[in-house]
Structure 1
Amino acid sequence: MSSDAQPVALEANQPRQFYRGGPAIAAFRNRDVADLGPEDWVASTTTQFGKDEAGLSRLPDGRWLRDAVAADPALWLGAQHAAEFGADTALLVKLLDAGQRLPVHCHPSDAFASAHLGCRHGKTEAWIVIGTSGPDPTVYIGFREDVPAAVAAEWVSTQDSAAMLGALNPVKVSPGDTVFVPAGVPHAIGEGVFIVELQQPTDFSVTLEWRGFLADAEAGHLGLGYDKALDCLERRAQSPEDLVRRTQALTGPAVDLFDAQADPFFRADRLHVSGTAALEPSFGVFVVLEGAGTLGPVAVHRGSTVVVPHAAGEVVVTGDVVAVRCRPPSVSSPGS
């Protein structure tokens, strides 16, 4: 069996960001260094917007994971996935520690990204809350009421932060909550919220609230200008009940963390293993939340992150382990 056909433990990968955070990642990973940044890009084959390498994950032997996957997509991703996506994992997983409230922003859809950014993927994403701190851990998701295009443009032009944030649905969160964020839906993550984030594999953000966060307005619109970039904003009202799930009390060997609306973009379940469990072959990114044991040949514990190639086959998990398993969208067999 190829050495690439085994699960691989990954070190932290924290490219520079514009906002504060990082201590929750350091504590989770049991690291002394708490100032490396608020995001850990796990098993990433995606670069930061406009960068050549920042954001990419390295394997223990020094290769970029991106290059290893490109060299043998079927081994890493499976033949069906490779037939649909080539060497594209179709997935980016992050740990994100909001040390301050993030700005109000949104992400383009597949159609917008294809038309204006030359990319197959937009950036639908979802959050799995794994920790909170402070008195008011809150996320803000979708407009409470429909917002006319001219009003949204005025808010951005005048940088009316109070109006933008006030127009969103505030949702208090606790560990086990999940939030699905469709492309276009405006959102912000509040201070003290620590998440595992799944998303499409891009770094496309339209930052409506740039003042006090970004260097200038030019950094906020993907080089398109706000007149064009705001076309990707979902201005219709959203109901948090359609986007937020409370999963902490759900038990069983595997708890599906998202509704079917997420399936075209990514999948995630929370595994509860006590003893042994055999997992079906799949490319996957694992974040261990609690306990200790093994994932195939890899020893794991709270804070471990592991990438599993499809060619690893039926991987066996042993021990007492709670982990989030993140996977790309499923690809149907030909003719199915």
Structure 2
Amino acid sequence: MPNKVRADGGRELDRFRGVEHPADTPNGAEAWVGSLTRANGATPENPNLGYAEVILPDGTRDFLVNVVKRAPETILGKAHMEKYGTSLGMLIKMLDAKAPFLLQCHPTRENARKYWNSRFGKEECWYVLGTRKDVPEPPYILLGFKEDITREKFEAAYRKGDAALLESFCHKIPVQPGESYMIPGGVPHALGAGCFVAEIQEPSDLTAVPFPQEYLLAYRRKANPFGIFEPEDEQLYESRMLNSFHYEGLPLDKLLDRLKSKEAVLRQEPGGREIEIFGDRDTSYFSCTMVTVSGAMARKNTGDVQRSL
């Protein structure tokens, strides 16, 4: 079942899925695919926000998280259960940015434990599936700090509420379909208008956004009218936000060498080929490959829950 969670968009998602009349909707920009992860804003009255819904063989509908809980070892496997329990250990999203997303970063596992009491951080990667043509400028991403950025400069811009200045601290990178970018915990990033990406990530919804809490709450309430968002202690909000960013600047060429996929060929066969988008050298938490099939190829089983594009 489609699982669109929040923010204005979704037309390119509809096109990707072959919907007859693709259209943007107020909460259509994010689709959480096969999600066992609860989204920010879930409440006792709406506890399943973010969870994927499935149609069972008898035609009834249920949330995938409930299906897994009923038969976890059958669905996930014993080895996976021993490592992650009933969590998938990853989350897949499809993001269709009709408008620019907010500048943000996500915590490392260490900071997620320290500031959010969470087992998982939110390291992630983007694979660019497509771009929109009807946007004010060519689609781009913001990724990583420039060389001369310090925590002091960043915090001063945050306290001034200068969004344009904060964004100017980051590299602005035009993107094309087929490109892939790694986004480690602590690295600032944002999708520009017109980007349609697959996002593979750790299974959490933890985000540090360098804007005043009242602004972020208003943004989230508009982007996700089904969620409930309450203010938290202001000192905690600022502390974990400012401490989640890694203030390491790099020149653009070094940033791209570190974070843009080199697309190593894993196997080439008469029936197709498999390319590594990101693997063990890039992150310890997930991997992503691209399989292009022109005939017949055997599926390579690693023994883990896998994601291939």
Q: Counterpart amino acid of 1:160?
A: D
Q: CA deviation at 1:264?
A: 1.0
| Amino acid corresponding to residue 50 of structure 2 in structure 1 | G
Matches within 5 A, 1:20-39: 20-31=8-19, 32=21, 34-36=23-25, 37-39=28-30
Aligned with residue 225 of structure 1, among 237, 240, 249: 237
- The alpha-carbon deviation at position 233 of structure 1 amounts to 0.7
Q: Report the number of matched residues.
A: 276
Q: State the match for 2:52 in structure 1.
A: 57
Q: Structure 1 pair 275/25, CA: closer, same or farther in 2 (3 Å)? A: same
Does the 8 Å CA contact 1:93/1:285 hold for their aligned counterparts?
Answer: no
Which residue in the other structure is 2:32 paired with?
41
**Cα deviation per residue 1:69-111 (whole Å; 9 max; x = unaligned)?**
2233322222222111111111100111111111111111111
**CA distance 1:217–1:42, change in 2 (3 Å):** closer
State the Cα distance separating 1:259 from its structure 2 match: 4.6
The share of aligned pairs that are identical, in percent, is 28
Match of 1:264 in 2: 284
Distance 1:94 1:44 in 2: 8
CA–CA separation in structure 1 for the residues paired with 2:195 and 2:281: 23
Deviates most, 201-210 or 115-124? 201-210
SS in 2 for 1:279: coil
Larger relative strand fraction: 1
Specify the SS of the correspondent of 1:103.
coil
Structure 2 residue aligned with 1:276, among 286, 296, 301? 296
Gaps of 5+ in 2: 222-228
Q: Which one is further off, 147-156 or 35-44?
A: 147-156
Partner residue, 1:188: 190
Shift of 1:209: 4.2
State the AA in 2 paired with 1:22: G
> Compared with structure 1, are the counterparts of its residues 171 and 248 closer, same or farther at alpha carbon in structure 2 (3 Å cutoff)?
farther
Q: Distance in 1 between matches of 2:180 and 2:284?
A: 17
Indicate how the Cα distance of structure 1 residues 230 and 144 shifts in structure 2: closer, same or farther if over 3 A, else same: same
TM-score, normalization by structure 1: 0.74
Report the counterpart of residue 315 of structure 1 in structure 2.
none
Please report how far the alpha carbon of residue 171 of structure 1 lies from its aligned counterpart in structure 2 after TM superposition.
1.3
Query: Are the equivalent residues in 2 in contact too, given 1:142–1:185 (CA < 8 A)?
Result: yes
TM-score (norm 2): 0.80
Query: What does residue 202 of structure 2 align with?
Result: 200
1:215 aligns with 2:221: no
Given that 1:57 and 1:64 are in contact with CA atoms closer than 8 Å, whether structure 2 keeps it comes out as yes
Distance 2:163 2:230 in 1: 14
* Partners of 2:280 and 2:287 within 8 A in 1: no
Q: Which is worse superposed, 244-253 or 77-86?
A: 244-253
* Aligned position for 1:14: 4
- The aligned residue for residue 301 of structure 1 is none
Residue identity matched to 1:14 = K
Contact 1:21 1:99 in 2 (8 A): yes
- 1:58-97 map, 5 Å: 58-61=53-56, 62-97=61-96
- Helix, strand or coil at the partner of 1:44: coil
Q: Give 1:241's aligned amino acid.
A: D
Tell whether the 8 Å contact from 1:146 to 1:235 is kept in structure 2 after alignment. Answer: no
Shift of 1:115: 1.7
Q: Which moved more, 1:243-252 or 1:259-268?
A: 243-252
Question: For residues 248 and 133 of structure 1, do their structure 2 counterparts lie closer, same or farther at Cα, with a shift above 3 Å needed?
Answer: farther
Distance 1:176 1:146 in 2: 30
How far apart are the structure 2 equivalents of 1:53 and 1:217? Answer: 17
Change in 2 beyond 3 A, CA 1:193/1:56? same
